[in-house]
């Protein structure tokens, strides 16, 4: 087998080491695999990913007719795939607004939990409105 020496900075070396570890290979074998894939000697292994929608469409189909693609989904969220990997999610307006409401509710609940042990302050809404009217 031929030998090749490559000089690289520490950051690149650490990233290579991490990727090799995740793939269960030595750094040398990881570099050999990367070269095989880059030179099209071997096709890259399919990577799995989590799909968070019941409906998927290809990026090519979405580009041809984005509105039609969304209508076919019947108001549900759709994941757009490019080479079988998620690129983005298309979310209907109503669903997006509901998501924003949920986020707001979650933030409000967190604020309430944080302030739960603080002393309470009595307030009269009518007095507050009257004071606000006098300030104008």
Closest to 2 in 3D by CA, of 35, 38, 26: 35
pLDDT digits (tens, 9 = 90+) for 87-109: 999 998 888 999 999 999 999 99
Give domain limits for the chain: 10-45, 50-115
Question: What is the pTM for the complete model shown?
Answer: 0.48
Domain 50-115, CATH number (from 3.30.930.10, 3.40.1620.10, 3.40.710.10, 3.20.20.150): 3.40.1620.10
User: Could you read off the pLDDT of 19-77 as tens digits, one per residue?
Assistant: 888 888 899 998 998 888 888 776 666 667 778 888 899 999 999 999 888 888 888 89
What's the chain's average pLDDT?
Answer: 87
Position of tokens 């984005």?
A: 66
Torsion of CA 21, 23, 28, 32, to 10 degrees: -160
């Amino acid at each position: 087998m031929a030998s090749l020496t490559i000089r690289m900075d520490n950051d690149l070396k650490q990233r290579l080491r991490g990727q090799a570890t995740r793939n269960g290979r030595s750094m040398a074998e990881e570099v050999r695999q990367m070269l095989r894939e880059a030179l099209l000697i071997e096709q890259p292994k399919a990577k799995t990913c989590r799909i968070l929608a019941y409906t998927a469409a290809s990026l090519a189909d979405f580009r041809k007719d984005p509105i039609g693609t969304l209508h076919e989904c019947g108001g549900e969220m759709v994941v757009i795939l490019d080479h079988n990997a998620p690129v983005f999610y298309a979310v209907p307006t109503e669903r997006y607004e509901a998501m924003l409401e949920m986020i707001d509710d979650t933030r409000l609940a967190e604020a309430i939990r944080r302030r739960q042990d603080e002393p309470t302050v009595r307030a009269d809404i009518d007095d507050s409105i009257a004071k606000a009217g006098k300030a104008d």
